[in-house]
Structure 1
Amino acid sequence: MATVTCGTLEYFPENILIDILSYLNVRELVRMSRVCRHWRQLVKDQRLWRAVDLSTWKRVTSRVLWTLLRQYLGRGLRYLRLRGLLLSARGGAFLTESWLQALTSRCPRLRRICLLHVDLRGLRGCSLLPPSLQVLELHFCEVPPGFFASDTASSETQGSIETLVLSNVPSFSDQHLQSLGSWPHLSRLVLRDLIRVTVAGLKGCVPPGAQALTHLRHLELETCTRAQMVALALGEGWPGLQGLSLGGKEVSPGLLCLSRLPDLRSLCLRSCRLTQVMVLRSCRCLTQLRMLQFSEVEFIEEEARQEADGETDGQERSEHDPAPNLRRALCALLPTCAVCFTNCTLTVNKD
């Protein structure tokens, strides 16, 4: 019988050990680094610190952030996700100017930051963020007036950000939105549930106004009010806008703007209720459209129309094609456009 040799983890190649450690979260990695000197050296490998998610760590404080930055984070960091103390009883400062300056120095390749429940009112502005950032996400955060304003110190940071995601930021107003007009490389803007953005603020973003987002190529609006959606259709169009995503209960008024977007290439409608007639009327003029996506959309169809089309038994419908009549009509209307349905349903109105 062959002799079975038992060994320790030290017999494994270093690449295999790092692959195993990559399945651990940040807190577990820190614990593993305390086992021995060899494990501490493995945990410090920058391949383990490319994407750091601290949003699930409930007791992250400013002291913890400094420890991670001094001992583990470095040139390998590409993505950082943080949850702040905005809704915590502990309160106190979370992101400080000195920590952000140290982050800029130690992590020159950081491309994306996602902040959740972070109070940014103690910072001067986005000039403190690393200039290497390309994507900035703010979810349930608080920002001070002038946070996005252009100045000499912040021009480098603003010049690198291409994508800005703002989700449920209560203090975000028309003033902040107008400040984004000075960001030269901002090509994608996502606005979700922003109650202080008015119709005038949205209209002011449309070129060729003084505060217009002239470099914007993709706009995403979700959970907006009816007035905000109507604002899209009040102007004469948005030159250069190639991608549009609308979501929420008030999507229908926003469809009125489609006829004024001659450069539109991609359209996504999500989490809304639409009639098939409304979709066909809105898309009739989109001759340049190449991608049309419906995600979690409830299509409303009259019973009389369904019987006329011979689909009362519903056998032609499937999970990936809940509205075959609509798909066939869109393919005939837009022959060069790809149509995609994701988790959509069809409701027959019997009234």
Structure 2
Amino acid sequence: MSRKRKWVPGMAAALGRPSLDALPDSLLLEILSQLPLRERLRGARVCRRWRRLVQDKVLWRHVDLTPYEISSRILWHLLRHHLRNNVRTLKVRGTLCSSRKQEFLSPALLQALGKQCPGLQRLCLVCADLRRLPYDFMPSSLMTLELSRCEIPGMWFRRATGPDSTSAPPQLKHLFIYEVPSFSDWHLLDVSSQTRLQTLTLCGTYRVTDAGLQRAAPHLEALEHLTLRQCILTDFATHFIGRYMKQLRTLEFSDAPSLTDAGLACLVPLKYLETLCLASCAKLSCDAIVTVGQALPQLRNLNLSGISFDDQAIRKIQASLPNCCFSPP
């Protein structure tokens, strides 16, 4: 009766059989980087070599936890064992839209995150309840903040004053707000007056009004990329965009049913504008688009999807803007 041969790592390679053991570390790291985080952590149980590779800092530069329902306990575990100063991006999903509502972020955890990950530059929060979480506790190293379907309190971006305010808020360069109904004019004013934003995206923020954009516009002179999608804004808003945000390179003013030719004409001062998206702005005329397009010397991309133009109008726009890549309706 034959005895079973004991398997040892590297045996397949020694016998000439295909094996992951024969692959170099660089290739195994590339394979592990394609795995979801949960499966990657399970891979650490295979052998000592895989455990060492799973802990490699290359795999922990950009951490996406949004596919999972994360608790505070799990975040603390990751922070103690895996998240280090090499982390650049962290994406986390909360339980705001779940039947199990629990706080997964706390001031203590955010403070620990700032100390443990001093290189963290981008934080993306999805379905997070931030009403009990002061903005001042956000890691000061952050340059990009993205909030999707979150709850924030009034005056959240306003810096706290007094003896208890010991931490400095982040100096954001890029802010993305997606479907945060509580984001208002005052939030926009507070965050724009504290930092020199280069990128601002507001999507579905119906509490941001023309008056709010008017107050914030003088603080947004360094802005290079602006997206206003599904916002309740009118021609009055474009007046202040053209007056103050003259460094803009990309502008999306889409799903704005109140935008007219008069408002579009206010964008003529944007001489550095390279990309303009006017999707679903149904009140715009062909002649107004041609006039503004010809007045923007750097314009190379024009998106007019969702606007009903006949073939003759489309041909006129294409002929009048020969150096511009045109996305027709």
TM normalised by structure 1 equals: 0.78
Q: SS of the residue aligned with 1:166?
A: strand
Partner of 2:9: none
1:142 matched to which residue of 2?
151
Paired position in structure 2 for 1:259:
266
Structure with the higher strand share, 1 or 2: 1
Give the number of aligned pairs. Answer: 308
Q: Distance in 2 between matches of 1:295 and 1:71?
A: 49
Match for residue 109 of structure 2 among 99, 104, 114: 99
2:177 counterpart residue number: 166
Distance 1:46 1:100, change over 3 A: same
- Match of residue 279 from structure 2: 271
Q: Matches of 1:128 and 1:261 in 2, distance apart? A: 41
The change in CA–CA distance for 1:9 and 1:97 in structure 2 (over 3 A counts) is same
- CA offsets, 1:4-24, max 9 Å, x none? 623653333222221221110
CA distance in 1, matches of 2:101, 2:309: 47
Partner of 1:52: 63
**8 Å contact 2:179–2:204 — kept in the other structure?**
yes
Distance 1:5 1:234 in 2: 71
CA–CA distance in structure 2, aligned partners of residues 4 and 155 of structure 1:
60
Matches for 1:1-351 after TM superposition, within 5 Å: 5-6=16-17, 8-57=19-68, 59-125=69-135, 127-151=136-160, 153=165, 156-159=168-171, 161-207=172-218, 212-225=219-232, 228-233=233-238, 235=240, 237-243=243-249, 244-250=251-257, 252-253=259-260, 256-259=263-266, 261-266=268-273, 267-272=275-280, 273=282, 274-284=284-294, 286-294=295-303, 296-301=305-310, 306=312, 323-331=314-322, 338-342=323-327, 344-345=328-329
With over 3 angstroms needed to count, the CA separation of the structure-2 counterparts of 1:77 and 1:167, relative to structure 1, is: same
Residue 87 of structure 1: how far off its partner (Å)? 0.8
Structure 1 residue 28: deviation in Å? 0.7
Distance 1:294 1:49, change over 3 A: same
- Relative to structure 1, the CA distance from residue 238 to residue 214 in structure 2 (aligned partners, 3 Å threshold; closer, same or farther) is closer
Q: Is the 8 A contact 1:180 1:213 kept in 2?
A: no
CA-to-partner distance for each residue in 1:114-165, whole Å, 9 max, x for gaps? 111111111122x212222111111111111221113465884332x10111
- Are the aligned partners of 1:280 and 1:330 in contact in 2 as well (CA < 8 Å)? yes
- Any stretches of 5+ residues in structure 2 without a counterpart? 1-13
SS at match of 2:83: coil
What CA distance in whole angstroms lies between the structure 1 residues aligned with 2:189 and 2:285?
35
CA contact (8 A) 1:224 1:250 kept: no
What's 1:349 paired with? none
Mapped contact 1:145–1:176 kept (Cα < 8 A): yes
> What TM-score, normalized to structure 2?
0.83
Structure 1 residue runs of 5 or longer lacking an equivalent are 310-322, 332-337, 346-351
Distance 1:144-1:105 versus aligned 2 partners, 3 A rule:
same
**CA distance change for structure 1 residues 90 and 287 in 2, over 3 Å: closer, same or farther?**
closer
Aligned-residue Cα RMSD (Å) equals: 2.7
- Is residue 223–residue 250 contact of structure 1 (8 Å, CA) maintained in 2? no
